Structure formats: structure tokens, C-alpha cells
Structure 1
């Protein structure tokens, strides 16, 4: 903003200088030309009177000396003709003596007792000259005509010097205005820079350096005061929400766990006909527990401002595929990794693992035995200047898929398909979308080309890498952690198993 303010000051001053100096320069050049013409005409009139006197006394032989003397004194060229236009003397071209110049316009006008003054390109060799042609008019007839020729180079040099002086003055004024404008712009924008710095701090989660409220224009001081009050209020609300999430996480887990234990204790004392209802109640308590955990996880995620870091997408995909392969094998479902290396991407720490785990959990719910879940990575394409290039990860299953309406609503909180099982919470895809957006990317659900669902995650690449074939992983390591409890380093978020696209009952891992 400092640069724009400075440019506005300089542009305004430049317009003022142009409006003042350009007309002044043209007026000065015009006045100098008029003065020069008037001086030349007066000199020619004086010389014509002397030449007329010489001719009246029969001293025509003195005219060449008189003309040369005048020419040396004034730096001009002199031509004198008689009453018929015959050249008596010419200091510029002596060979024209004796010629008849009565046909030339300025000589003809002077012979008709009309002085002529102007600029011509043809009266003297060497370019443009100022001429002043006047008659001797002390008698009724025109006894002689005097033409004086002046080079315009001295006048042009004088005018150019004036233009140069005006330009230097203008540059000097602009330099002074630039210094003053820069100081003024810095004074005006200093509170704005402080506000920008404070806004960035607030976006990172905590305002440690509030903007000063006693600097800059009054309007910006008031803005800084309002911003500080607003930021303080927001920080107070965020701390209150964080405290609520922490307390609720502890206070809600204990009674839910106790309720489940009490329900399980009823099992030996119930009639066989009530066993099914007890199982349903225990399942609902478990789903309620997962839902509470999901809501608390989303609250912590929305209240925290985590900065994305460079993460190796290919390594994370390979690792998660290896962990989930054994669980998929129990359902006779294959997990493969394909595509080309995507390279490093920007992502919130721990987000990629949670995204992949939730999407694989949903895909495994709906995948029939004998099918394959494919994790395909693709590097960022070449930047076409219209849309930023994004690396992609596709998680494609061969289940029944989802309708277009269901795909549009799948990311809504608590939404599940009408034929989904009741053990889902409807929060998994919502968390996937929130984690992807926090990483600076996006996620979409598309219909797979050969049936099923294609979950596409797009993330910002950290750098462009040369593509090469990604190794395919079909078997996991012998030692596997419990995938159904994908606790992450950041937030300890468990898989929510939202079941939004579930259409067939399978035991979730």
C-alpha cells in the first residue's frame, strides 16, 4: 500500500507539473520567437533607412560594405535590392548580385510597400531561417528593399535550454514530493502493517503482539482499537471452547463407559428373547460414544490453527495401504497402490493418515468379497496459468457406489444414506473434508468408471518431481496396529465409521 500511495502522490504531482510547465514552455518559445522577429524587423527597418539615404546621395557603392558590417554585428545575412528588385548586394550568396528577385514573395510584397516577416526553408542554404523583408519608405515610391536573414539555431538552443531547466525543476519537485510522500505513506500504512501482522497472529491461533492504538491517522487508531477488542473477545471464546472440549471429553466418556458396562452386566439375567434388544442397546451406546468422540475431534480441529507442512504423500499412501491390507484380506478384499509418484505435498501433520484411514474404512464397509480397493496417486500437472496445479490421490472401491444426490450430501455432518447401517456416525467424511481444506486442498466424490465410488483428494504440491511408476503393495507387514483405532499424533482422532455410503453389512475393522 505504501507503493500505491507514493505512486498516487507522484502521479498527481506529475499531472500538476505537466499542466503548469508544458503550457509555460510553449508560451515562452512563442514569445521568444515573436521578440526575435520584432527585433529583426526593427533592425531591417533601420538598415533600410540608411540604404535609402545612401541611394539618394548616389552612394550605392557603399551598400556592400554597409551590409557586411551589419551582418557581422548582428550575425545575419543581408540582401539589398533596388526599386525594380535587382540585387545590389548579398552577404550570404554574392553571386546573386544583379539578379532580379522581384518574383520572390517577400520581395514582391516589400516592393508593394508591405513588410514581410516569417520563417523559410529556401531563402538561405543550411536550413530554416527567420527573414525580415522591409521597404525603404521615406518617399512616395519604394527606392530599395532590405532583407535580413537570421539562423534559428541560437533561438532553438535557448528554447531547448529552457525546456531542460523546466524538466530538471520538475524532476527536483518530484524527488522532494517522493521523499515527503514516502514518509507520509509510511506513517499512514504503519498501523495497517501492524494490523496485518496482528491478523496473521490471530489466524495462527493467538494474538501476542496487538497493534498500537496511538499511532497513525485517527480513523486507523479507532480501527486498531476495535480490532484489539474483537481479537480479545475471539481469543476468550476460543479458550472457552477449548476448555469445554477438554472437559466434555472427560465428562462424557466416563458415564458412557459406565452405561455400557452396566448394560453388559444385565446379560446373564435376561431372558433369551431380550438378548437382541440388549445387543442393540450396547451397539447404540457404542455409536453414541464414537459420535461424541467425533464431535470433540471436529471441535478441536476447528479451534486449532495448524500450519501445513511438507509431507511425502507416496510414503503415507504406501504405509496406510500396508496396514489396511491384512484387515481387507479378512474380508477377501484386495488393496493395491497404483499410479505415478505424487511427491511431497502440503498437509496438516497427521491429516493424511486420518483422511486415508476414514476413506479406506468406508470403502471396506461397502466392498463385496473378491473386489479391489485401489489407491492411485498422480503428480501435479504442468501449471496452465488458469488453475493452480494439485497433486491427487484417488481411493476407488468396487462397491454399489452412491447417487449424485448422495454424493452432494455425503460431507454434511450426521448425514447417512437411507440404507446405511446404524453403527455409523455420519461424521467421517465431514472430518475428511475439514482436514483436506485445512491442508489447503479439497476432496470430491465421483462415480468410478467401472462402478463403485472414487474419492479424489487434491493437495498442493511442495515441489514438482519427475514421474515414475509407484511400487504396488498387496501385502502388509506381519505386525499391524489396530486400524479401527487410527489414533493420530495430532488430536488422537479415531475412525468415525460414518457409514454414509454403506449398502452392505460388513464388520468394520
Structure 2
């Protein structure tokens, strides 16, 4: 916008200067020509009296003096003798002046001035020529001055236009920066009231109101999630008491582990809902330890359902830029999908490589062309499990089918950035 305003002012200024300077330049050239012509006419007017009454010798002496001063003057007498002064042929303008007419005619390389003077025996003609250099003396320099003045005015107009455009664009840039900060979840960003047009002030006020409204809605949503999470404490406590009453030690341990995992998830949800801030971006954990812990938890269920589990886990520590709770939730979601969407006895595998790539594969029916997204799943679920895994990895999740059958889910985890 700033560039367009500057170009608009530059074009307008240039057209205005052209409309003003071109006629002025032509006027200056005409004035110079008239000045040179008037000076030459005045010179020859001084010898009109001598040509009208003097004899041939007196006229010749006067004309020679004028020629010696640099003025090319020729006098044609009516007696038919040779012309006096500067040698020249009789031109049509001379023939016309011999009838008693005075005139100025254009000539190659200058301008011709002829004056008819009556004397006894006929009409004498005084002729002089104004060279092109005399006609346009000083015109080039005047044009250069006009061009420099026009360029200076254009530059001045560009400077003023740039200042004006900057005063208009700067508030818009500030509003754009605030909107980008809000898009990056910096909800404390506010737009200062600009000093520009009232429309910009209205936009700034609307943007600030929108930011405040977003903060209020997010606060209410987090409070509702936290309240709902707290309400889950009571059934969790009851479930723990029921788990302790199970007689079989293995079953009691498995159910207690499940209750512990659910309680950790609820606790993490409460903490995330209440105290989530920009500092959460710096969360990190040991991916090897977290994945190994969750695999041990699911191994009990795998044994009960007759599933063979193939493991290939890198030795830790393997730091990743994901909170332990979020990574545990992602692993639980991926393994939960395997148990939910494949029949009992279907083998599956879990691998974690040193380049922080987690792969969960199974020998089930596969996904085919199914599209899985949050809230939408063609596999009979809600799609939330894979969405949890995708968000834990920062969006780097790939789903494909095994050539030999079954699904493969690849989760690429982000490395922890080291600060210098």
C-alpha cells in the first residue's frame, strides 16, 4: 500500500509538471526568438534614414560599419547595381519587400528580416539574417534549469507521499502484528489506539475487544474442563476401592494400574486446563522410558488376548520435546486402536528408533482408504485417539498399510532444542 501511494503521487506530480513545464519551455524558446529578432530589427532600423536619402557611397560606408560589428546586413538599391554590405542573393522575401513591404521569413539556419525603404527612383531593401544560434541563445540552459526544478519537485513530492503513506500504513502494520501475535496464542497482545483515521481506531478497538473475548471464552472453557475433571475424582476413588477388593492378585494389579493411568490423565487434564501457558512449549521427557512404561502396561492385556508383541526399543535416555503425560497419552491411543480395531490374537509391534521415530504396526485388516481425523473415523471410532497422537508429535503422524497386511502408524517426535 505504501508503494502504491508513492507511485500514485509520483505519477500525479509528473503529469502535473509536464502539463506546466512543457508550455513554459516552449514559451521561453519563443521569447528568445522574439528577443533576437527584435535586436536585429533595431539594428537595421538605424540605417533606414541613410538608405532613404544617402548616396551609394554613404550607404556603403554605413553598411560596412554594421557588418564589421557582426551584423550580416545587405542593402539592395533600386538602380540595379550590386548589393552593398554582406554578399547575398535576392530571395523571394527581398523581391516582396521591393514592393514596399517589411517582413520576417523563416530561413534554413536562421530567420530573414527584410525592410523596404522608399527613395527616389524606387524602393531599396535592407536585409539581415538572424542565425539559429542567436535565436536560441540561452534556451538550452533555461530548459536544463526547468528540468532540474521539475526533478526536484518530483523528489519532494515522493518524500511527502512516503511520509504520508508511512503515517497511514504504520497503524495497519501494527494491527497486523497484533493479529499475528493473537494467532500465535499470545492472548495478552493488544493494539495501541492509532493516531490515524477514525476507521483504523475502530478496527483497533474491535481487535482488542476480540482478544478480550477470546480470553474470556478460553478461561470459561478451561474452568469447565477442570470442573468436569474434578468431578471424575469421586468415581475414580470408588473404582480404586473396587480394584482393591479384587481377590486375584494379577487382576487386582492390572485394574489398579489402569486406575492409576486414568488418574494421571485426569490430573494432567486439570493441570493443562488451569495452568497452560507459553512455558509448556519447553516441556520434555525421555521417550524411551515413557514408551517402555506404556508397553509394559499394555503387555498384560496383550497376553490375556493372545497377541504376540514384537518390541524394538532404543536404549535411553532419548529426550524429546513432548511432555511425559502427552507422550504417554499418545502411546496409549495408538496401542488402544490396535486392541480396539483388530481381533484377538492379532500380533502387533512397537519400535522406537534413535532418530525419535515411533512406529506401531499390526497384522490386522489395515486401514485401506479410510480417512481418520478428529471426530471423524471410518474405522468405527471417534478419531480422537489418532488426533491425540498427532498433537503430541506436533502434527508429524503418518498412517499407511503394511504390504503384507495390517496398519502402520508412524509418529515422528520433535527433538529438544538446545540453547546456546
Q: Please state which band the TM-score falls in when normalised by the shorter chain.
A: 0.5 to 0.7
Counterpart of 1:234 in 2: which secondary structure? helix
Does the Cα contact within 8 Å between 2:327 and 2:392 map onto a contact in 1? no
Rate the CA distance shift 1:254–1:142 in 2: closer, same or farther, 3 A: farther
Aligned pair partner of 1:171 in 155, 167, 190:
155
Counterpart of 1:400 in 2: which secondary structure? coil
Rate the CA distance shift 1:429–1:265 in 2: closer, same or farther, 3 A: same
Residues 122-133 of structure 1: matches in 2 within 5 Å?
123=109, 131-133=110-112
Rate the CA distance shift 1:261–1:111 in 2: closer, same or farther, 3 A: farther
What per-residue deviation string (whole Å, max 9, x for no partner) do you get for residues 405-457 of structure 1? 43x0x333385735x8xxxx853212123345xx4x45342334554334355
Report the Cα distance in structure 1 between the residues aligned to 2:365 and 2:93, rounded to whole angstroms.
Answer: 103
Report the Cα distance in structure 2 between the residues aligned to 1:82 and 1:348, rounded to whole angstroms.
Answer: 111
Q: Which residue of the partner structure matches residue 333 of structure 1?
A: 310
Does the Cα contact within 8 Å between 2:377 and 2:383 map onto a contact in 1? yes
Are 1:158 and 2:142 matched, yes or no? yes
Q: Which residue of the partner structure matches residue 417 of structure 1?
A: 379
Report the Cα distance in structure 2 between the residues aligned to 1:265 and 1:323, rounded to whole angstroms.
Answer: 25
Are 1:200 and 2:200 matched, yes or no? no
Q: CA RMSD in A?
A: 5.3
The structure that has the greater radius of gyration is: 2
Rate the CA distance shift 1:49–1:115 in 2: closer, same or farther, 3 A: same
Does the Cα contact within 8 Å between 1:375 and 1:396 map onto a contact in 2? no
Deviation at residue 29 of structure 1 after TM alignment = 0.7
Rate the CA distance shift 1:117–1:450 in 2: closer, same or farther, 3 A: farther
Q: Which residue of the partner structure matches residue 385 of structure 1?
A: none
Report the Cα distance in structure 1 between the residues aligned to 2:47 and 2:352, rounded to whole angstroms.
Answer: 111
Rate the CA distance shift 1:81–1:445 in 2: closer, same or farther, 3 A: farther
Residues 131-280 of structure 1: matches in 2 within 5 Å?
131-139=110-118, 143-151=125-133, 152=136, 154-176=138-160, 178-179=162-163, 182-183=166-167, 189=171, 193=174, 196-197=177-178, 200=181, 204=185, 206-207=187-188, 210-211=190-191, 217-259=197-239, 261-262=241-242, 265=245
What per-residue deviation string (whole Å, max 9, x for no partner) do you get for residues 305-325 of structure 1? 64785899xx96666676678
Q: Which residue of the partner structure matches residue 117 of structure 1?
A: 106
Report the Cα distance in structure 2 between the residues aligned to 1:456 and 1:301, rounded to whole angstroms.
Answer: 28
What per-residue deviation string (whole Å, max 9, x for no partner) do you get for residues 249-304 of structure 1? 22213224415644885989xxxxxxxxxx9xx99xx79x9599589849947994
Q: Which has the higher contact order (CA 8 A, sep 6+)?
A: 1
What per-residue deviation string (whole Å, max 9, x for no partner) do you get for residues 338-375 of structure 1? xxxxxx99x66558835863476358656988875555
Report the Cα distance in structure 2 between the residues aligned to 1:377 and 1:132, rounded to whole angstroms.
Answer: 96
Q: Which residue of the partner structure matches residue 400 of structure 1?
A: 364
Report the Cα distance in structure 1 between the residues aligned to 2:268 and 2:323, rounded to whole angstroms.
Answer: 18
Report the Cα distance in structure 2 between the residues aligned to 1:68 and 1:351, rounded to whole angstroms.
Answer: 112
Compare the two structures and name the one with the higher helix fraction: 2
Rate the CA distance shift 1:323–1:263 in 2: closer, same or farther, 3 A: closer
Q: Which residue of the partner structure matches residue 478 of structure 1?
A: none
Gaps of 5+ in 1: 72-77, 91-97, 124-130, 269-278, 338-343, 379-391, 464-509
Q: Please, what TM-score do these two structures have when normalized by structure 1?
A: 0.56
Rate the CA distance shift 1:401–1:295 in 2: closer, same or farther, 3 A: farther
Report the Cα distance in structure 2 between the residues aligned to 1:148 and 1:256, rounded to whole angstroms.
Answer: 115
Rate the CA distance shift 1:454–1:26 in 2: closer, same or farther, 3 A: farther
Report the Cα distance in structure 2 between the residues aligned to 1:116 and 1:398, rounded to whole angstroms.
Answer: 107
